[in-house]
Amino acid sequence: MSNKNATCANPRLGRVGGQAVMEGVMMKCGEKYSVAVLQEDKSITVVDGVHTPVRKKHKLLGLPVIRGIVNFVETMILSYKTLSVSADAFMGDIEEEETKFEKWLSAHLGAKLMDVVMTIAMILGVCIGLGLFIWLPDLVLDFIEWIGKFEFGVLRALFSGIIKIGIFVLYIFLVSRMSYIRRTFEFHGAEHKSIACFESGEELTPANAKKYSRFHPRCGTSFIFVMMLLGILVFTLVFMIPGANSAWYIRLPLRILLLPLIVGIGYEYIMFAGKHDNAFTRFFSAPGLWMQRLTTHEPDEDQLKVAIIALKCAMPDTFDRAEVDAELEALKPKKEEPEESEESEENEEKTENDEN
């Protein structure tokens, strides 16, 4: 049997996915997801949830390419939601006095406050992403053309793509220097290792998971790189159309309008690459896997435990939840019984003597 066929025959491939969150890992299998968070006392808090993809309700949204666009939007929403869940789970016991502004927000928005904050954060994230990866590269190339008195022509897409990749690599490199981001990248590595261990069919233990690579072909990092490479190809073809590359106010709307198409095609490729191991997929997956050297780090045993717990909780049909709960209970620190003081012992002796 060829390696390709062997890969396709593995029923565990692609069943579960996840992401690193604040001091933990989120795992998702079908509509079920679980967020496991490591506490300071080494215990693990688990928050379960259900997310029904909208494409299950509307068959049209499940068609190839379209499903990738829908999945991208839903993944962003779920990512922000689970990040909020992990922050609440980790900082739940920390009580801070609310500021006047926070009290005003709570009074006017109530239970909807977190939804509003998440929506604003997501919109800001999208705007910053569009600015950095669409507007800024175009602005840099316009400036170079103005200084050099020449035009890039159809090569604009290539140089724009190179600038985008440079910005992305530099950004990841800089944020990875921050201690809390590095720790998140360690949980990212734990997520990949535990999924690889599960997909191999080996028993899910920290010792077994540790043996596997922290790089995974279906990672979001690989997806971003695939989108950048696809963008170079798509816009090279688009800029061959007369007038498409004539001015920024034409290029910018074209880039935004074609972005969903690139996202959809990129999703289909990532799904294909995750289930096929051949020269073609290895070649195009290589840049994303190289980039994971920055976005993942080797996890410790506690981080692997967290990832494994999250995976097991997200797959109740495969793993016995009662066993997982027992494991979680065992991780909780035992309460020490207060020792009897010397004074109480002396009082007891005195009482006995008085009785005698």
Between 3 and 84, the higher pLDDT residue: 84
Mean pLDDT over 313-319 rounds to 90
How far, in Å, are 7, 112, 183, 218, 327 from residue 306 at the CA level?
27, 30, 13, 20, 11
- 13, pLDDT greater than 80: no
Which residues have CB under 8 Å from 273's CB, separation 6+? 217, 218, 222, 281, 284, 285
pLDDT at 284: 80
| Contact present, 48 and 32 (Cβ < 8 Å) | yes
Say how far apart CA 352 and CA 335 lie, in whole Å.
Answer: 31
Of 190, 209, 223, 193, give the one whose Cα is nearest residue 20.
190
Element (H, E) at 194: helix 179-200
Which two tokens mark 327?
Answer: 């494991």
Say how far apart CA 161 and CA 152 lie, in whole Å.
Answer: 13
- Split at pLDDT 50, 70, 90, the class of 1 is very low
8-state DSSP, 337: P
pLDDT at 6: 44
Between 53 and 195, the higher pLDDT residue: 195
Model confidence pLDDT, tens digit, residues 320-345:
899 989 988 888 877 665 555 555 55
Model confidence pLDDT, tens digit, residues 168-222:
999 889 988 888 899 999 999 999 999 999 998 899 999 999 999 999 888 888 8
Domain ranges of the chain: 17-332
Say how far apart CA 71 and CA 65 lie, in whole Å.
Answer: 10
How far, in Å, are 26, 89, 223 from residue 85 at the CA level?
10, 6, 25
- Split at pLDDT 50, 70, 90, the class of 152 is confident
Mean pLDDT over 296-313 rounds to 94
Model confidence pLDDT, tens digit, residues 229-280:
888 999 888 888 887 777 778 888 888 899 999 999 988 888 887 777 778 8
Which two tokens mark 118?
Answer: 């998440």
